[in-house]
Amino acid sequence: MSAPQSLFEKIWKHHTITNNEAGQTLLFIDRHYCHELSFHAFNMLHGNDRRVRHPERTYAIPDHYTPTTGLNNSDYADEETRSLVANLLKNAKRNSLNLFELKDQRRGIIHVVGPEQGITQPGMIIVCGDSHTSTHGALGALAFGIGASDVSHVLATQSLWQPKPKSMRVTVTGKRPIGVTAKDIILSIIRKIGAAGGSGHVIEYTGKGIEDLSIEERLTVCNMSIEAGARAGMIAPDTKTFKYLNGRPYAPKGSAWDKAEELWRTLSSDRDASFDKEATVDATQMEPMVTWGTSPEDVLPIGGIVPDPSLETDTKKQAALKRKMDYMGLIPGQVISDINVDRVFIGSCTNSRIEDLREAATVFNGRKTKIPTLIVPGSGLIKSQAEQEGLDKIFIDSGVDWRPEAGCSMCIGVNGDFIKNGERCASTSNRNFEGRQGRGARTHLVSPAMAAAAAVNGHFTDVRKMEKKQ
């Protein structure tokens, strides 16, 4: 009998073409997503007089630099960003790729569109020149970001040399309390294991706390695996996965579906599979979370208190804490719920799906925003569904800026949507690094519900204590 294997091991082995003396594995790549920042790779490809080897497996979706106010030339942040978008469209057409055009209603954030369209499927290896490719692991795929030279290699060969990562299992036990979201779960995990806790590993998330999540919530968890230092994040496919995928445009149909599902049902980790590293987190003890520093591991429950650097005995850690406090403009001992907010952003590949928007709408309903608030849907189809459900009316009546176009928007601050120097933002995105949302921007990562609560109160607020509006 063969040794027990994890989900990661099964996918890695199935995609192995060969190994080299340096310990690397040549992997076959099922899906390759490209956005505007893939231009370096296309330049390398065309510079060597090559074309894309498997255009049918390659998907081009502009999202990072596309404006969310509209798609006219005047809507772009500058000519350079407009040129980057135009360049992707040109390269996609030149190589006959699967292209989601600017005015295609299906277009949106690449890590939202892939699962939404059923392009992402269990058992696949998926790559993209974007670290948050880990999002797609929520459907039982091995998905990770790659650099420009690797993007070029995949474009030319549909394969990729990779050193084999180690494996890690994070088990989330128990049932989460009411008011705790998928964003709070992943922030709690990062708080426990640290921003480097998964370094060099592929994390598989297991346990009741993960099984109870919807697919959209699982996408949020896997999305931020990178913020835990991991190479990728994965969740074994189950009945929820199959129900989510069935009938989506790119999912298998008819007998092909039956055959695919039969394979997918074999992809869970074997009972006695071993992992190089293990961690356990208790969901029953979780609360709504808010980051306070400049790393996702700098996170506390809403009732927490900003740390005091002077209490840190390690001089290097003390200096790092002080730098974070200075950048964020916080005071030691300050209660998280006492921190005022200047701006709110709800969107990004972490939290821009329909369930995220419904979550935010529940808080906004019947209330008015006290600070500027921007909501950007993850795709044109999500925008349409939100408007069919009347969520846009709730947002607009609250004073929210409901954007007409999908895109990465304020998450990365390169498309005209950014935070001003010194402003404090409650954001549903994935990174709170210095300057991530604009030069001098102070980013606090929260769930959509917590972001909405901050918007209507002007400061961080425990959404669980807010009276529900009818």
Q: How confident is the model at residue 467 (pLDDT cuts 50, 70, 90)?
A: confident
**Rounded mean pLDDT of 72-97?**
97
By three-state DSSP, how is residue 153 classified? helix
Q: Any idea what DSSP says for residue 3?
A: P
Q: What is the pLDDT of residue 149?
A: 95
- What are 62's two structure tokens? 């502009």
Q: What is the pLDDT of residue 469?
A: 62
Q: Any idea what DSSP says for residue 217?
A: H
**d(C-alpha 393, C-alpha 442), whole Å:** 29
Backbone angles phi, psi at 86, to 5 degrees: -60, -35
**Rounded mean pLDDT of 373-387?**
98
**Rounded mean pLDDT of 100-109?**
97
Residue 380's closest CA among 63, 80, 31, 47? 63
Beta 277-282 vs 125-128: how paired, if at all? Answer: unpaired
pLDDT at 315 over 90: yes
Q: Which residues pair with 206 in a beta bridge?
A: 171
Residue 275 CB burial class (10 angstroms; 0-12, 13-18, ≥19) = buried
Task: Report pLDDT digits (tens) over 262-271.
Answer: 999 999 999 9
Task: Report pLDDT digits (tens) over 29-67.
Answer: 999 999 999 999 999 999 988 999 999 999 999 999 999
Helix-then-strand count for the chain, H and E: 15, 19
Q: How confident is the model at residue 470 (pLDDT cuts 50, 70, 90)?
A: low
Query: What is Dmax (Cα atoms) for the chain?
Result: 65
Per-residue burial over 318-336, b = 16 or more CB atoms within 10 Å of its CB, e = otherwise: eebbeebbeebebeeebeb
Q: What is the pLDDT of residue 83?
A: 97
Residue with tokens 């390169």: 414
326 and 292 Cβ atoms separated by less than 8 Å: no
**d(C-alpha 170, C-alpha 35), whole Å:** 31
**d(C-alpha 137, C-alpha 233), whole Å:** 6
pLDDT at 223 over 80: yes
**d(C-alpha 384, C-alpha 379), whole Å:** 9
**d(C-alpha 470, C-alpha 457), whole Å:** 18
| H or E stretch covering 444 | strand 442-445
**d(C-alpha 332, C-alpha 291), whole Å:** 14
Residue with tokens 């925003």: 369
**Rounded mean pLDDT of 324-339?**
97
**d(C-alpha 82, C-alpha 17), whole Å:** 39
- What are 262's two structure tokens? 């039969």
Query: In the predicted model, what is the mean pLDDT of the chain?
Result: 97
Please state the separation of Cα 353 from the chain's center in Å. 11
Q: What is the pLDDT of residue 2?
A: 80
Helices marked H in 194-304: 208-211, 215-223, 239-245, 255-264
Q: What is the pLDDT of residue 1?
A: 62
**d(C-alpha 140, C-alpha 233), whole Å:** 9
What's the CATH number of domain 290-465, 3.30.360.10, 3.30.499.10, 1.20.1630.10, 1.10.10.10? 3.30.499.10
Q: Which CATH architecture has domain 7-278?
A: 2-Layer Sandwich (3.30)
pLDDT at 417 over 90: yes
Domains of the chain: which residue ranges?
Answer: 7-278, 290-465
Residue 67's closest CA among 376, 350, 355? 376
| Rounded (5°) CA angle 151-152-157 | 100
415 and 396 Cβ atoms separated by less than 8 Å: no
Please check whether the two domains, 7-278 and 290-465, share a CATH topology. yes
Per-residue burial over 53-75, b = 16 or more CB atoms within 10 Å of its CB, e = otherwise: bbbebbbbbbbbbbbbbebeeeb
- What are 356's two structure tokens? 């995220």
Residue 50 CB burial class (10 angstroms; 0-12, 13-18, ≥19) = middle
Radius of gyration of the chain (CA): 22
pLDDT at 124 over 60: yes
Residue 136's closest CA among 162, 157, 158, 116? 116
**Rounded mean pLDDT of 108-137?**
98
By three-state DSSP, how is residue 342 classified? coil
CB-side exposure of 364: number of CA atoms within 13 Å?
Answer: 31
Task: Report pLDDT digits (tens) over 350-377.
Answer: 999 999 999 999 999 999 999 999 999 9
